[in-house]
Amino acid sequence: MPGGLTFGLPMLAIENTLIDEALLEEAFVCDLSRCRGACCVEGDAGAPLEGDEVGYLKQAYPAIAPFLRPEGRAAITEQGTALRDPNDGEWVTPLVQGRECAYALFDAEGTAQCGIEKAWQAGAVALRKPISCHLYPVRIARYPAFLALHYHRWTICSPACTLGEALKVPVFRFVAEALRRKFGSEWFEQLEAAAALKRGQDDIQKPDNKEDR
């Protein structure tokens, strides 16, 4: 997938995770009216999947299939409900002719939506959407002893950065629901406390711009 993960320091440590402070400092709110859900279309691989999601999609596919486009169902019939990315060996969703995710739908304006989420909204499945999609633009890098959370920068998300700045919503706030889903409410409360502490420190360090009287 195009773009880049930030590996800059400093990073926060919460339980067995390291969190890039870019999640606290950068602003982000998806602006679907401008990007049209391009993250479901652009890139050279499908959405990353966790091991339990791979098994669940295979088991629940009959309930998901009615919500998908014919093109998506054809791609899944040919490639499977999930496959290994040839570049890194990770599990990902299949693509339609190398373009959009096979689970993607498009509304009348051409905005991409998630067919898995549509099935979830209808009560047909228990999985809302892959956690990698729910967390985006946060990406998780896995190491033997810990997980590292990074901010994934991608040019197609420029409208989200602009809207986030206007609304003053940091990345971690935008994906709060997904972070709670992945790591739990107690973990997220610790992240909120760290963010509040950092804001206080930043305020103290800001220079006084008032002219001497």
Sign of CA dihedral 124, 125, 128, 130: negative
- So what's the pLDDT on residue 208? 57
User: Domain residue spans in the chain?
Assistant: 1-28+137-204, 39-128
Q: Is the dihedral of CA 57, 148, 43, 117 positive or negative?
A: positive
**How far apart are the C-alpha atoms of 119 and 133, rounded to whole Å?**
15
Beta strands per DSSP E along 60-211? 83-84, 91-92, 104-106, 112-114, 138-142, 147-153
Residue 151 phi/psi, 5-degree rounding, is -90, 120
Q: How far is CA 8 from the centre of its chain?
A: 19
pLDDT in tens, 4-44: 444 455 789 999 999 999 999 999 999 999 999 999 999 88
Would you state the pLDDT for residue 213? 39
Mean pLDDT of 202-207: 62
Give the whole-angstrom CA distance, residue 172 versus residue 192: 9
How many Å apart are CA 83 and CA 89, to the nearest integer? Answer: 9
Average pLDDT over residues 134-143: 95
DSSP 8: P
Q: Which residue matches tokens 């950092």?
A: 198
Q: Which candidate, 30, 42, 46, 4, places its Cα nearest to that of 157?
A: 30
Q: Is the pLDDT of residue 187 over 90?
A: yes
Where is average pLDDT lowest: 33-37, 176-180, 195-199?
A: 195-199
Confidence of residue 117 (pLDDT cuts 50, 70, 90): very high
| pTM of the full structure | 0.87
